[in-house]
Structure 1
Amino acid sequence: MPGTASSPQRRASERYSVTFVPPAVQAIEELTDNTGLSKADVINRAVQIYAYLEAQKRLGAGLLVRGPDGNAERLYIV
């Protein structure tokens, strides 16, 4: 059943050519250094997290980030 809610259709991998701004390049480098993941894995994870956050935002959910001191800060994505 392609494309049903219980069984989403999986697409084949796609290759993109993108240009990243310097802050994104730095973030990718830091993430690859700190995690040992490849650039492709870091970017794939980032896109999936962003899609999840956007879906939650559409539902009216918010995101709180709790620091090591226990204080929570609401994260806004505009």
Structure 2
Amino acid sequence: MSPLERLTMNLTQRGAEALAKGAELTGDTKTDTVNRALQVYAYLEQLRTEGGTILIRRPGQDELEVINFL
């Protein structure tokens, strides 16, 4: 596999908005944002398949919330 792989994809409006928001928040390019998102997704899926639980704590709250991916 080469160091770069070209990908053509169609995004839903929600996906395109999420990509734009992610790039805006980080200052990364859309390409970098997609690459980072895929790495995070793969990591979270690996944790899930190994029986792990993904928890978040929202700002200003003490309780943890379980995150479920469909």
Root mean square deviation of aligned Cα: 1.3
Note the alpha carbon deviations across 1:25-59, whole angstroms, 9 max, x for none.
00111111121100000000000111111111110
Q: 2:62 aligns with which of 61, 64, 70?
A: 70
Give the CA deviation at 1:71. 1.9
Could you tell me the TM-score, scaled by structure 2's length? 0.89
Q: 2:11 aligns with which of 13, 20, 41?
A: 20
Give the CA deviation at 1:11. 4.6
Alignment of 1:1-78 (within 5 A): 11-68=2-59, 69-78=61-70
Could you tell me the TM-score, scaled by structure 1's length? 0.81
Ranked by relative contact order (alpha carbons within 8 Å, sequence separation 6 or more), the top structure is 2
| Percent identity of paired positions between Structure 1 and Structure 2 | 30
* Unpaired runs of at least 5, structure 1: 1-9
For 2:45 and 2:2, how far apart are their aligned partners in 1? 21
- Counterpart AA for 1:22: Q
For 2:39 and 2:26, how far apart are their aligned partners in 1? 17
Larger Rg: 1
